């Protein structure tokens, strides 16, 4: 089973379609395959930069693409639900047991409420997921109806993730329009996620930094 096969899996795509319907009704930002493909690609790029092998990179890409399928069951505990769904799907593939368990564990632990990075696959997934902050994740609706999650993402006018083995640092650069979202609001939503990224970076023997509007804030 390869990443290219996973992204075309009809069952996974159906879960994402249903999850988008639920999150749209709840007013959440985008968690579609546009998000999960970006997460898969970014997780792979991070591991490549830190000189991990293709086998580990492939597992991170699969985990990255599948990590949000649990939203089809319920947003609360979506990481755990997603891990259970992923396990059932991947059981039907030729993945080694150890690889399947590693993917399932990474998915189960990607949420900042109770998850933790424990290996390079889960670390890369967490960093890739939590740094996907961008205006295009906000669903089309009247700005007067934006909640704090909408405002925080909509306020981000530019984002860049920089990483490298030589400098042993992963840095998220954001440009935020503070007329839309204050720095207090940003940290109210994202401090837990950025703290999780810091812990995940240590698994890769790196440090995580956040720079907003040219100033280092973490």
Domains of the chain: 3-216 (1.10.3210.10)
Supply φ then ψ for residue 202, to 5 degrees: -65, -30
pLDDT per residue over 33-44, tens digit each? 999 999 999 999
In angstroms, the Cα distances linking 20 to 24, 53, 169, 187 are 6, 33, 34, 26
Q: How far is CA 198 from the centre of its chain?
A: 14
Q: Would you state the pLDDT for residue 142? A: 78
| 20 pLDDT more than 90 | yes
Q: Count how many residues are written for the chain.
A: 218
Q: How far is CA 112 from CA 4, 5, 48, 117, in A?
A: 28, 29, 24, 10
pLDDT digits (tens, 9 = 90+) for 83-129: 999 999 999 999 999 999 999 999 999 999 999 999 999 999 999 99
Q: What single-letter DSSP state applies at residue 3?
A: H
Name the 3-class secondary structure at 216.
Answer: strand
What pLDDT was estimated at residue 147? 84
Structure tokens, 201: 């970076």
pLDDT, tens digit, for every residue of 135-188? 999 987 778 888 888 999 999 999 999 998 889 999 999 999 999 998 888 888
**Cβ(56)–Cβ(120) below 8 Å:** yes
CA distance 138 to 150: 6
DSSP assignment of 119-173:
SHHHHHHHHHHHT---GGGSPSS-GGG--HHHHHHHTEEEEEEEEETTTTEEEEE
Q: Two tokens at 42?
A: 């970014």
pLDDT for res 6: 98
Q: How many degrees, rounded to 5, is the angle at CA 54 between CA 30 and CA 162?
A: 50
Q: What is the pLDDT of residue 140?
A: 74
CA 193 to chain centroid, in Å, comes to 10
Contact 167, 201 (CB under 8 A): no
């Amino acid at each position: 089973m390869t990443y290219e096969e996973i992204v075309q899996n009809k069952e996974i795509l159906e879960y994402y379609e249903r999850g988008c319907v639920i999150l749209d009704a709840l007013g959440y930002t985008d968690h579609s395959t546009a998000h999960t493909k970006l997460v898969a690609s970014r997780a792979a790029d991070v591991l490549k930069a830190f000189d991990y092998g293709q086998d580990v990179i492939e597992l991170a890409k699969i985990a990255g693409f599948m990590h949000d399928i649990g939203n089809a069951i319920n947003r609360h505990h979506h990481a755990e639900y997603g891990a259970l769904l992923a396990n059932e799907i991947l059981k039907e593939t030729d993945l080694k047991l150890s690889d399947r368990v590693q993917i399932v564990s990474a998915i189960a632990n990607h949420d900042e409420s109770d998850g933790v990075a424990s290996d390079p696959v889960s670390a890369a997934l967490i960093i890739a997921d939590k740094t996907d902050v961008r205006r295009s994740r906000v669903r089309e609706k009247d700005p007067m109806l934006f909640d704090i999650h909408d405002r925080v993402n909509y306020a981000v006018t530019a984002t860049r993730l920089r990483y490298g083995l030589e400098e042993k640092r992963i840095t998220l650069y954001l440009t935020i329009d503070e007329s839309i979202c204050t720095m207090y609001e940003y940290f109210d939503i994202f401090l837990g996620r950025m703290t999780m990224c810091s812990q995940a970076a240590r698994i890769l023997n790196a440090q995580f930094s956040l720079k907003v509007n040219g100033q280092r804030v973490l």
